[in-house]
Amino acid sequence: MLFEGKFTKPAGLIYDDYEVVEPFPIPENWYRFGGVDFGFNNPFAVVWLAENPETGEIYAYREFKKSGLTVDDMEKVLKKEKCSVYYGDPASKETLETLRARGINIRPAKKDVLAGISFVQSLFKSRKLKVFKNLVYLLDELNCYQWETDRTGEILDKPRKENDHLLDAYRMALFTYYSNKPSTPKVRPVGARRLTSRMFRRF
């Protein structure tokens, strides 16, 4: 948006702080996963992500968005890119099962919209998320994704449902991936002894 010759952000923008980086080849040892939002008249949207194992930073590095695709077309798109797991919209149960039967590791995503949005916002603020500069459709959605407002202009706890298919895929992938990610186990140093009540009886 332009205001007085300057680029500005729309009021009520949901993701108003994110980091864009120059594209680079994803290393082979990085974990790759994807988010899928199904559609036919609405676009079939996919976002591919990769996690840096050293820093924990996650990069959105590829996107796909197109309407009118059959399940056969979707299969080709998903199989074309190296990916450990996809998280898809659970509302499309039959499509999920068909793709899984065809050898694609795709699982139902967590679809809690408000909790997912809040989680992605926190990741952006912590600088854990990066978006490749060449993902023009995802960036376009990020720049336009807003909260609904009532007649008086008050912001509601409900995102506006337009031009959001890649962001839905992005949110579902991140929220589900982190929800399923095992936490780092607490390990006692080698040789450490556990103090018991018996040990204290000597003092």
Give the strands of the sheet with 44-51, arranged side by side.
20-21, 129-132, 58-66, 44-51, 31-37, 85-88, 106-108
pLDDT of residue 3: 41
pLDDT of residue 10: 58
| pLDDT means over runs of 10, the chain (203 residues) | 47 89 97 97 97 97 98 98 96 97 97 95 96 98 93 88 95 95 44 38 38
Amino acid identity of 122? S
pLDDT of residue 40: 94
> Is 193 contained in some domain?
no
pLDDT of residue 9: 55
pLDDT of residue 194: 39
CA distances from 17 to 6, 143, 181 (A): 18, 10, 25
Q: Which helix (H) or strand (E) holds 177?
A: helix 165-180
> Is 195 contained in some domain?
no
Q: Are the C-beta atoms of residues 71 and 121 closer than 8 Å to each other?
A: no
pLDDT of residue 180: 86
pLDDT of residue 200: 33
* CATH number for the domain that contains residue 35: 3.30.420.280
pLDDT of residue 156: 87
> Is 36 contained in some domain?
yes
Structure tokens belonging to residue 153: 């202009």
> Is 200 contained in some domain?
no
**Strand-strand pairing, 155-159 and 147-149:** antiparallel
Q: For residues 141 and 28, what is the distance between their CA atoms, to the nearest angstrom?
A: 29
The domain total for the chain is: 1
Residue 24 domain boundaries: 2-181
Q: Are the C-beta atoms of residues 82 and 76 closer than 8 Å to each other?
A: no
pLDDT of residue 11: 60
> Is 79 contained in some domain?
yes
> Is 157 contained in some domain?
yes
> Is 199 contained in some domain?
no
Residue of 66, 50, 62, 37 lying closest to 134 (CA atoms): 62
Q: For residues 49 and 59, what is the distance between their CA atoms, to the nearest angstrom?
A: 5
pLDDT of residue 182: 61
> Is 132 contained in some domain?
yes
Question: How would you label 71-109 residue by residue, b for 16+ Cβ within 10 Å and e otherwise?
Answer: eeebbeebeeeebebbbbbeebeebbebbeeeebebebb
Q: For residues 46 and 37, what is the distance between their CA atoms, to the nearest angstrom?
A: 6
pLDDT of residue 189: 34
